[in-house]
Chain A
Amino acid sequence: MSTIFWVLWFFIAFIIVLIAFTLRKENEDVPRREILRAVETSGKMGLAERTFLWVFSFLDTRFRIQDYWNMSKGAYYNMHRQMPLTHAEKYKLRIIWYWYPLYCLGGISFLSFIILVITGTVLGIYYVPGGEGDPSPAYASMEYIMTQLPFGYIIRAVHHWGTHFMVASVFLHMCRVYFTGAYRNPRELNWLIGVALMALTIVFGYSGYLLPWDTLAYGAAVIGINLANATPLIGKYIATLLFSGSSLSPRTVTRMYFIHVFILPVIVTTLIIIHLFIVWVQGIAEPH
């Protein structure tokens, strides 16, 4: 076993060395020595600095640090140039528009999402999905979190209030975007993604509401499954998909858990990244 281990490591080391030599610039336009001399003459250097310089230049000639640095810098400036100047910057306006404070709402919903991911991860360590038995494992684990786990109740409270923050800031963010007409050309696609994100946020909230599997959750589940079942033609399929059957069962809570901690996070995180990327590329809208 250990033999294979060493062979593997040697193989990896060999690959690294191979890559390093492949990448090494054999025909330097600018000899390394000249650069070193230029740096050394630019200021007083101690032994540590000299050593570092030698290592750095050694690595640079092999791993092309300079090139990648320039590439990323170029990318940064290119992107930066694409971001339009704000109206205030362009015309050196003296006033700050009174809507500006509302431009932080999207960021707040994003931050809420991050807080929810963090607290949700902690809760997920202790939460046990499952509705079978009395009390169900889900409910028992919730009791444990609320009463036994150190800081458990406050983490759940932050998760709970984070939800309200996120939904509220998503709604207000949408209002801001609507009332400044920011959904218009060229930002139509991003508005649609935003609408999808809002709907998914609500579904997030609903699925999380069911997880404690207490009376309130059960009542909400009854209403939800009734709505799903009421859908023409595909009602029972929707109910089966979301609630694991056309009537409530212990499996419902497991299904909701899966939706809440796997499906929705993957979709929502992806959409948020796209959403933010588009904002970054297109810039924020300022109607003036």
Chain B
Amino acid sequence: MGLMENLGAVASTYMEEKEKLQTAEERRKRTRSGHGFWPHEVLRDSLIFGFMIAVLLFYAWLIPPPLHSAADPFAQAGFVFPDWYVLFSYGYLRWGEYLPQFDVPLGPVGDFFGQPSFPWNAAWWGAFLTGIPVGILALPPFLGGREKRPVEDPWFASAGVVYLAHIWFISVFSINIFLELYGKNRSDYCKLDSHGDLLCGTRDPWIADLFNMIPWVLTGILLWIMIYFIAKWLFNNAWGARFTPAHGKSLVIGAFIVATAASVVTYPVYDNGFWEAKGLLTIADYDELEEMRSQPTDIQVHEVNEFMTLQGFEGDIVPAAAWMDWNIYQPTRYYMIDFADNNGHQDLDSGVNGAAGIDNYTAEETIWASGTFSISDQYWPDDIDFKTVPVDATCSTRASEVIIDGGLSTSRMIQSSLVITERDSGKTVIDTDCTSGETGVELGAGLYDYEFRVNSVDQLAANDTVTVETAFTIKAFQPLLLYGENAGNGLAGTTVDLSNSLNMELEGEHMSVTENPTYHANPKALDAKLTYAMFVPCVTLGAIVFVLLRNMARGYEFEMNKCYGCDLCDDACPVRLFNAGDKLNIIYNSWNNEDDGVPLYSCLTCTACTNACPQLVDYDSYVDIRRTLIVGGPTAEIPHTVLQAVLAAEAEEESDADFVAVEDYPIDSNVGYYPGCVDYLDQEMVFSHLNEGEMNLGETTTAAFTLFEEMGADVSYLGRDFLKCCGHD
């Protein structure tokens, strides 16, 4: 090693000597600045990179990537889950399924590419929407300006936070399956497992509830911020300076109360998945939900397990009432309807809540069944809005031969009609035939006449060998009756059986219609909430960042940081001219927590320094705020508009002569003479608009003390170490 070093030294000496000889004149001296590459930067980077590689290896050892079974194009589409960094794109793809889908005609261009019409489907929504956040990234450079800290430009920082929050929530949207699983693994949610046993979640419900609430809580915060700032703006305009910071504090609390109340009251709107707003596109069509006829029923479990006990069910029955807490039934109906007729409302043979018939005929015969059925309102809820129940009227016909006469379809040769007329008004309420039928027609209580007519035409009418079977069913669905919680005999929460007279006798008084707890609850509520979260809560996060940054900006640390010590403020400061001999640099020293020679209470807040500052450090506001912090009073934006302007103009010029020498006046008495700012100023100029150049308040002070001496009064001059500004404008 020694030899190599020697050789290196030789080479280096050689080149140095040669250079010296070649350039006899003085070599330009070059100095290096900043941190040395060695050892500072090398050491720092080695530490960072070493740490990173350690973490990398740790993860590689702890969680090696899996290798699943080999790709099989014929297998059912497996569970696909992309890496986290493309979840946002996957989210858009899933969201695209809810967005409107349509065909875009492409015209001649489309013809050229062999695609006359382009289907704007979920896949293209996914690709298209993915392009937007990526494309937006290309725009910021064209906004102009120079580099800034977030605190200096809260708008673009907030915009960035909104962007990131949106990407976050759309990524969350893509894993809605997991969220649903997670949301259902709560101890107040149960379902039947594949064995027919009750299985309940294990996690405390509050965790899922908390996560569920986040978007709406964020909405409340946004509301709070907006109410506060709008109200503040209005008050400032209306009251002006009389709107004090104390009022502002009350406003913060008031806005909080209002926003909280509004959020709590509107929470069901959110929790039910924005039913009225079509579930933010997750409800394509209310009619689909209208057709949801599932209803809770009593279910006998396969085996009684600990969940049955935990839920407090007697025996091996999970009562119908319990299922309503766990599932969504008939979301369009306020009262649950007994579509399965578990209560036994209908007696079709006797024409109670419906009617039915079966008959056969051949050839030219005609089936003409007519009769009457009643819709009972015996068990209707005590609610004047409940006036109708859904009625299904369906019929069917079937010939014993599908094809006759060598290829003629018999189904086209049967004519049918099913007509229902309201007895009282004589109005036809249902007029249908067996090819369509009517379901879900809302009819009121009362008597109804029906006519069911079937006959054959054409070849079928002439064919004696083919029998035609016909049937019709009319069903009026009554509200679902359940026993209440107070019912005994193990009937609590179970479905009422109207034909079980013993139970009716014992517990009939606890029986009632069932208000639907999932009325106007969107079955796709999770996706609706996530859709919502992609927009408004993101704005909240941006608003929070904006408010926080504005608060930081008011801390002035960052403003002070802009100072580069040019001393211009010092030159402009009228107090310094009076109070301190040396150059002090107010702003720079304040930032360094050093005494600037201009204590906070000596400052006139005349804005001379701010106006002189090439970096626009708002030093006088800083002084105001510092004073506020110490005194605890209102935010001191001293309304010195005229004075400030004049002072600022004056600071440009030489301010000199009229300062009063304070050494002459003793500070040793109980009586003080407070001159305010006048002793520091060129009063003649400052107040020239009042005095036309004749008034000299500096002399006034001198004259005042002359009087004090004549009076024999000991008066202290309070101009030096006291607040120079009285606040008077």
A residues neighboring B (CB under 8 Å): 29-30, 34-35, 38-39, 42-43, 45-46, 48-49, 52-53, 56-57, 60, 66, 69-70, 77, 80, 85-86, 89, 91, 94-95, 99, 104, 107-108, 111-112, 115, 131, 134-136, 139, 142-143, 146, 153-154, 156-158, 160-165, 167-168, 171, 174-175, 178-185, 187-189, 191-192, 195, 198-199, 202, 205-206, 209, 212-220, 222-223, 226-235, 248, 285-288
Distance, CA A70 to CA B152, complexed state (A): 45
17 further contact pairs, Cβ within 8 A, besides A146-B67, A171-B85: A30-B18, A38-B17, A66-B15, A86-B34, A111-B52, A115-B53, A156-B65, A164-B85, A181-B148, A199-B134, A205-B86, A209-B83, A215-B68, A219-B78, A219-B79, A227-B89, A233-B109
A143 touches B61 (CB 8 A): no
6 smallest beta-carbon distances between A and B, as pairs: A219-B80, A188-B141, A157-B60, A230-B123, A218-B71, A230-B124
A46 touches B6 (CB 8 A): yes
Distance, CA A217 to CA B113, complexed state (A): 30
Distance, CA A168 to CA B83, complexed state (A): 11
Q: Kindly name the residue among A107, A179, A198 whose own CB sees the greatest number of chain B CB atoms within 10 A.
A: A179
Is residue B564 contacting chain A, with contact meaning CB distance below 8 A?
A: yes
> What chain B residues lie within 8 Å of A134 (beta carbons)?
70, 72
Closest to A147 in B: B67
> What chain B residues lie within 8 Å of A187 (beta carbons)?
141, 147
Distance, CA A38 to CA B49, complexed state (A): 46
> What chain B residues lie within 8 Å of A216 (beta carbons)?
68, 78, 80-81
CB distance from B563 to the nearest CB of A (A): 9
Q: Kindly name the residue among A52, A95, A175 whose own CB sees the greatest number of chain B CB atoms within 10 A.
A: A52
B147 touches A231 (CB 8 A): no
B141 touches A183 (CB 8 A): yes
> What chain B residues lie within 8 Å of A48 (beta carbons)?
3, 6-7
Distance, CA A131 to CA B68, complexed state (A): 15
A49 touches B10 (CB 8 A): yes
Q: A108-B48, A188-B142 known; A35 and B67 CB under 8 Å? A: no
Which of these binds chain A: B156-164, B437-445, B634-642, B644-652?
B156-164
Name the interface residues of B128-158: CB closer than 8 Å to any CB of A: 130, 134, 137-138, 140-150, 152-153, 156-157
CB distance from A71 to the nearest CB of B (A): 13
Q: A175-B164, A191-B141 known; A288 and B562 CB under 8 Å? A: yes
Is residue B192 contacting chain A, with contact meaning CB distance below 8 A?
A: no
Closest to A80 in B: B32
B residues neighboring A (CB under 8 Å): 3, 6-7, 9-11, 13-15, 17-22, 30, 32-34, 45, 48-49, 52-53, 56-57, 59-61, 63-65, 67-73, 75, 77-86, 89-90, 93, 104, 106, 109-110, 113, 115, 118, 121, 123-124, 126-127, 130, 134, 137-138, 140-150, 152-153, 156-157, 160, 164, 561-562, 564-565, 592
B67 touches A91 (CB 8 A): no
Q: What are 9 A-B pairs at a CB distance below 8 A?
A: A49-B6, A52-B7, A104-B48, A108-B48, A108-B49, A227-B89, A227-B93, A231-B124, A287-B146
A222 touches B80 (CB 8 A): yes
CB distance from A33 to the nearest CB of B (A): 12
> What chain B residues lie within 8 Å of A227 (beta carbons)?
89, 93, 123, 126-127, 130
> What chain A residues lie within 8 Å of B60 (beta carbons)?
154, 157-158, 160-161
CB distance from A109 to the nearest CB of B (A): 10
Closest to B109 in A: A233
A287 touches B134 (CB 8 A): no
Closest to A160 in B: B65
> What chain B residues lie within 8 Å of A183 (beta carbons)?
140-141
Distance, CA A90 to CA B77, complexed state (A): 62
Distance, CA A70 to CA B141, complexed state (A): 39
Q: A39-B10, A216-B68, A219-B78 known; A185 and B144 CB under 8 Å? A: yes
Distance, CA A191 to CA B141, complexed state (A): 7
CB distance from B330 to the nearest CB of A (A): 35
Distance, CA A153 to CA B66, complexed state (A): 10
